[in-house]
């Protein structure tokens, strides 16, 4: 069974006091909706939370997910990834996605899982925009787990994935959902306004 890891330990520093992972999307806090989308794949779901993420943990409390408290999250994204991957169960691979990608759906996750089945000769499989820009979700082969222990700073996993472009299978989605995150109140307002026009 391949675990799904949702990264949800960020501080929402650009939300000016708000928490983007608790913003309402389709009547649910975004983080809860993300967890539900992941659960519908049938795989185990793990949520990486920071040491002071009580409010986020509350919205997940009745879901069949495993919350991982990551002390290293105070270092930034690399610390979160390093600490969280170390706590995942042994598996042939694992999927990772950001908790703030508002537009991802369960079917998108399933498409990336299917790509791994269809093209097993890669080490990384990841969602991408229509134009081929890499994004999330990302599946990493288990052989890459030791590399996560080396991550540092706030660059996330880019130092890990960039050298492996030739061994990465991109799965283009029909829009920019693989990279669509909303970091400020203005971006949230604009996104909601765009939905209202549809």
Evaluated on CA atoms 57, 58, 60, 61, the torsion sign reads positive
* 71-123 pLDDT, tens digit each: 999 888 899 999 999 999 999 999 999 999 999 999 999 999 999 999 999 99
11: left (phi > 0), else alpha (psi -120 to 50), else beta? alpha
Helix (H, G, I), strand (E, B) or coil at 67: strand
pLDDT at 33: 96
pLDDT at 148: 95
pLDDT at 183: 85
Tokens of 91: 């598996």
pLDDT (mean) for 113-135: 96
Helix (H, G, I), strand (E, B) or coil at 115: helix
pLDDT at 154: 65
pLDDT (mean) for 177-184: 91
- 8 A C-beta contact, residue 4 and residue 44: yes
Going by pLDDT thresholds of 50, 70 and 90, the confidence category of residue 131 is very high
Q: Which domains does the chain have, with CATH numbers?
A: 4-197 (3.90.550.10)
Least confident of 77-91, 111-125, 133-147, 173-187: 173-187
* 1-53 pLDDT, tens digit each: 899 999 999 877 777 767 899 999 989 999 999 999 999 999 999 999 998 88
pLDDT at 115: 97
The residue among 14 and 173 whose pLDDT is bigger is 173
pLDDT at 135: 95
pLDDT at 11: 75
Going by pLDDT thresholds of 50, 70 and 90, the confidence category of residue 198 is low
Q: Residue 157 to residues 5, 99, 126: CA-CA distances in angstroms?
A: 14, 15, 13
Helix (H, G, I), strand (E, B) or coil at 61: coil
């Amino acid at each position: 069974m391949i675990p799904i890891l949702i990264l949800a330990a960020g501080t929402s520093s650009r939300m000016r006091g708000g928490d983007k992972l608790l913003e309402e999307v389709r009547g649910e806090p975004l983080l809860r909706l993300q967890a539900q989308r992941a659960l519908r794949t049938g795989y185990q779901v793990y949520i990486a939370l920071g040491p002071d993420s009580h409010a986020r943990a509350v919205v997940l409390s009745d879901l069949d997910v495993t919350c991982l408290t990551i002390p290293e999250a105070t270092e930034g994204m690399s610390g979160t990834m390093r600490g969280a991957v170390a706590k995942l169960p042994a598996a042939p691979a694992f999927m990772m996605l950001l908790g703030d990608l508002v537009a991802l759906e369960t079917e998108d996750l399933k498409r990336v899982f299917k790509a791994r089945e269809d093209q097993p000769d890669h080490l990384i499989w990841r969602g991408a925009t229509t134009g081929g820009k890499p994004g999330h979700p990302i599946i990493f082969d288990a052989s890459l787990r030791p590399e996560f222990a080396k991550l540092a700073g706030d660059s996330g996993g880019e130092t890990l994935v960039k050298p492996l472009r030739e061994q990465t299978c991109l799965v283009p989605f029909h829009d920019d959902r693989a990279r669509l995150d909303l970091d400020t109140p203005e971006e949230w307002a604009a996104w909601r306004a765009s939905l209202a026009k549809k």
